[in-house]
Structure 1
Amino acid sequence: MTGDSVLLERADGVAVLTLNRPSAKNAIDIPTTDALVAALRALRADDDVRAVVLTGAGGDFCAGGDVKGMADGGSRTVEQRRAGMARYAELARALAGLDKPLIAAVDGVAFGAGLSMALYADIVLVSTRARLAMVFHRIGLVPDVGAWYQLPRVVGLQRAKELIYSAREFGADEALRMNLALEALAPEALMPRAMELARSLANASPTAFSLSKRALASTLQSDLETMLDMEASSQAIASSSAYFREAIRRFAAKEPAQFRWPNKD
């Protein structure tokens, strides 16, 4: 546990990070943002944690920033407001810098910064009652937590423009169609599936996963030769790992592989 507004549980190589402000639909205020950053940094440094699930308590993922808290800061200068945004920048860096599998289990609302956070997940699972929106323009704000960067890379530039400009709400089926989510599940099946995938990924090679995640994060800004060079260096590292040696031994001995991807029923 990291504090009342963010819960952290670890078991069998999987950490579950839960936003815990259900009365506010898990909107993130300053203490929650700071707690999230601290938890993500701790998880990155914890070698016993091999996969992370990010979710929200009470049937919602995250309603975004705490609008009531924003109203309380009406007398702040532009400079003070810009300095305050540094917290969201640190949250974006902490999410992007997590070199382990990150699964977002999105139930209920994922608005504004909530949707921005989900964009950093390697796998996004949504419930059939999920409601998502880049709501910022509704109240005269611009996207934050790095959404200008992440959203076009997930859904494409034109769709990102439409979602940001319109600030409209969309559901699970559309999230699947635009490749924002991998699977849509009944609410009661959401966390079991997230945990199933997380436990599977916890058995994958942490070295290979980290190298692939780093490469995929840079591929849209790189050229073929750069990626081929990264591939050669990364493969040399991965093939030197104890995980690879054990995988080869199991293959030769016709033993079950350490890593298997669970099919969806």
Structure 2
Amino acid sequence: MENNHVLLEVKNYVGIITLNRPEAGNALDLQMAKELMDVAIHCSENDNIRAVMITGASNKFSVGGDLKSFASEGEEIGSHLKAVTSYLHQAISYFARMNKPVIGVVNGVAAGAGMSLACACDLVYASDQAKFVMAYNKIGLTPDGSGSYFLPRLVGIRRALELMYTNKLLDANEAKEWGIVNQVIEDEQLAAVATEVCESLAQGPMNAFGATKKLFSHSLQESLESQMAMETDYLAERATSPEGKEGISAFLEKRQANFLK
């Protein structure tokens, strides 16, 4: 795939996505949004990709939307933003719904849509130099990039509103305490540790990961009984799948399961 603003490299069944506008803090413009959607679709459909890593070029994850490019649209800014968010939201929908685990590797500032994108990832590993801020209300805007969906689910409504209203800046350890980050890693070790995690997940039961993701995403809108009914259906389906059969056989035979065959 030929992209300029979003790079994709595949190694050991891991699709490594790099937001690549370092001169602009990896700010999101129309081209980046479209390229991110294209890459998300490719990752979803490519059988050689079993886990996805998202990070930023240089020392930032993403500072959010490219306000300079948005403002240059003048009176057409509303239409322009609808185009940008259409691509961005389609990309996030693919990341959120694909069976493959999606890991955010936050190597610096994650602001605005950058923080929203991090929140949309299944797991987040952050450099000890990372910072998180929503930043939308500061400039009179509202969240995009699924920020209003995932952030309240991660931290609760009151904390989410606090982050929005006050533009509170969280360092990496605070973000971990608030439930936004899974693990904080020394900056020099971040890439190596995150890669090891992604490669390990890529060896796992990808379709079981996907089913688990679907169960969790439904859990807040279902009743107890309807959620347990879904659990029953998914469990029975997984047990009769090639992954389930291999996993059960490996357990009984006291060997490592091979989910790649």
Query: Which range, TM-score by smaller chain?
Result: over 0.9
Q: Percent of aligned pairs with the same residue?
A: 36
* Counterpart contact for 2:133–2:163, Cα < 8 Å: yes
Counterpart residue type for residue 161 of structure 1? L
Counterpart residue type for residue 90 of structure 1? Q
Q: CA deviation at 1:85?
A: 3.6
Counterpart residue type for residue 27 of structure 2? A
* Counterpart contact for 1:13–1:50, Cα < 8 Å: yes
The residue aligned with 1:237 is: 237
Counterpart residue type for residue 181 of structure 1? V
Q: What does residue range 7-46 of structure 1 map to in structure 2 within 5 Å?
A: 7-46=7-46
Normalised to the residue count of structure 1, the TM-score between the two structures is 0.92
Pair 1:258–1:64, CA change in 2 (3 A):
same
Counterpart residue type for residue 22 of structure 2? P
Q: What does residue range 67-216 of structure 1 map to in structure 2 within 5 Å?
A: 67-76=67-76, 78=78, 81-82=81-82, 84-216=84-216
CA distance in 2, matches of 1:77, 1:117: 22
Pair 1:2–1:223, CA change in 2 (3 A):
farther
Cα displacement string for residues 99-134 of structure 1 (whole angstroms, at most 9, x for unaligned residues): 210000001110000000011111101111001100
The residue aligned with 1:263 is: none
Cα displacement string for residues 190-240 of structure 1 (whole angstroms, at most 9, x for unaligned residues): 111111111111121122111110110111111111111111110111111
* Counterpart contact for 2:71–2:77, Cα < 8 Å: no
Normalised to the residue count of structure 2, the TM-score between the two structures is 0.94
Cα displacement string for residues 158-185 of structure 1 (whole angstroms, at most 9, x for unaligned residues): 0000001111211011101101000001
Pair 1:151–1:257, CA change in 2 (3 A):
same
Q: CA deviation at 1:84?
A: 4.9
* Counterpart contact for 1:131–1:172, Cα < 8 Å: yes
Pair 1:79–1:18, CA change in 2 (3 A):
closer
Q: Which runs of 5+ in 1 are unaligned?
A: 260-265
3-state secondary structure, aligned to 2:129: coil
Q: CA deviation at 1:71?
A: 1.2
* Counterpart contact for 1:54–1:104, Cα < 8 Å: yes
* Counterpart contact for 2:109–2:131, Cα < 8 Å: yes
Counterpart residue type for residue 13 of structure 1? Y
Counterpart residue type for residue 58 of structure 2? G
* Counterpart contact for 2:26–2:60, Cα < 8 Å: yes
Q: CA RMSD in A?
A: 1.6
* Counterpart contact for 1:2–1:39, Cα < 8 Å: no
CA distance in 2, matches of 1:7, 1:110: 18
* Counterpart contact for 2:33–2:85, Cα < 8 Å: no
Alignment: residue pair count: 259
